[in-house]
């Protein structure tokens, strides 16, 4: 269920989170009001320090989780771009090789790009499959380089391609690892619990009048919903409304297909 929500657009994620948060906030508000009316001799505003400390802890945790989700997204995006750059270098350097070897290298690059777009992307978007799998395209490029250079140009081209191939493989590994760096279920449970406790504390601390309490709880619920929407969107870098784009890979594949 949670995986299904993560692959949706930001608007749908927001509405989903709000559909859960709003009933909880409403139940808290009504329950708080009943308790306050029953115990008129108790001043619940005295719990303000506890609310502040709960709010601080919740804010720090949400900030930490958001930073982690953003870093994973950033690593995934940068790794994909680096991979595309090194694949482009491999394709460019293939011009130093003979026509036969150049064609094999370019075909290996195209096989790799198609494998990423058709197979790996789906695995990264759904967090299925092993963290690292075989890359048939990169293996084909490596196999195409198993020859003795005929001249200095081929030797330099082969060395450059081998170096770029290693860099592309590293970028691919980083990309796949970033797609698996998801927020753990216990952490989501902790965030949910703290958010509910914070809303309860706010409802009691502002229970002098119902209007004040309702407005405070509503604003707090909307704020929590917004930050959770952003975190959920960034938590899965290759799916959903906020996702790493396929365009660099697709553009390189289109360019290579037109050139050859």
What is the percent of the chain with per-residue pLDDT over 70, rounded to a whole number?
94
Residue range 99-132, pLDDT digits in tens:
899 999 999 999 999 999 998 888 888 765 555 6
In 3D space, the residue among 37, 36, 54 whose CA is nearest the CA of residue 45 turns out to be: 36
pLDDT of residue 1: 47
Alpha-carbon span 227 to 43, nearest angstrom: 31
Is residue 199 over pLDDT 80?
yes
Residue range 27-84, pLDDT digits in tens:
999 999 898 888 877 777 778 888 889 999 999 999 999 999 899 999 999 999 999 9
Give the model's confidence band at 259: pLDDT under 50 very low, under 70 low, under 90 confident, else very high. Answer: low
Give the model's confidence band at 196: pLDDT under 50 very low, under 70 low, under 90 confident, else very high. Answer: very high
Average pLDDT over residues 195-212: 90
The answer to whether residues 112 and 253 touch, using CB atoms and an 8 Å cutoff, is no
Alpha-carbon span 123 to 127, nearest angstrom: 6
pLDDT of residue 42: 79
Query: Taking the model in full, what pTM does it have?
Result: 0.82
Written as six digits, the tokens of 97 are 């090789």
Average pLDDT over residues 229-255: 87
């Amino acid at each position: 269920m949670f995986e299904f929500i993560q692959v949706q657009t930001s608007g749908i994620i927001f509405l989903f989170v709000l559909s859960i948060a709003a009933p909880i906030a409403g139940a808290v508000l009504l329950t708080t009001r009943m308790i306050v009316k029953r115990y008129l001799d108790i001043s619940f505003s005295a719990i303000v320090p506890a609310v502040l400390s709960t709010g601080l802890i919740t804010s720090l945790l949400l900030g930490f989780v958001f930073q982690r989700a953003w870093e994973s997204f950033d690593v995934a995006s940068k790794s994909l771009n680096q991979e595309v750059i090194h694949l482009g270098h491999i394709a460019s350097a293939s011009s130093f090789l003979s026509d036969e070897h150049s064609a094999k290298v370019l075909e290996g690059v195209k096989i790799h790009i198609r494998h990423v777009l058709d197979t790996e992307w789906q695995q990264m978007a759904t967090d299925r499959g092993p963290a690292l799998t075989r890359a048939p395209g990169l293996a084909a490029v490596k196999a195409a380089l198993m020859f003795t250079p005929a001249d200095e140009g081929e030797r330099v081209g082969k060395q450059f391609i081998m170096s770029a191939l290693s860099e592309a493989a590293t970028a691919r590994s980083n990309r796949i690892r970033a797609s698996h760096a998801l927020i753990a279920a216990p952490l989501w449970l902790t965030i949910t619990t703290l958010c509910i406790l914070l809303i309860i504390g706010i409802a009691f601390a502002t229970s002098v009048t119902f209007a004040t309490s309702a407005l405070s709880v509503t604003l707090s619920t909307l704020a929590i919903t917004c930050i959770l929407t952003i975190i959920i969107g960034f938590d899965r870098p290759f799916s959903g409304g906020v996702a790493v784009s396929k365009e660099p890979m697709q553009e390189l594949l289109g360019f290579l297909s037109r050139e050859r």
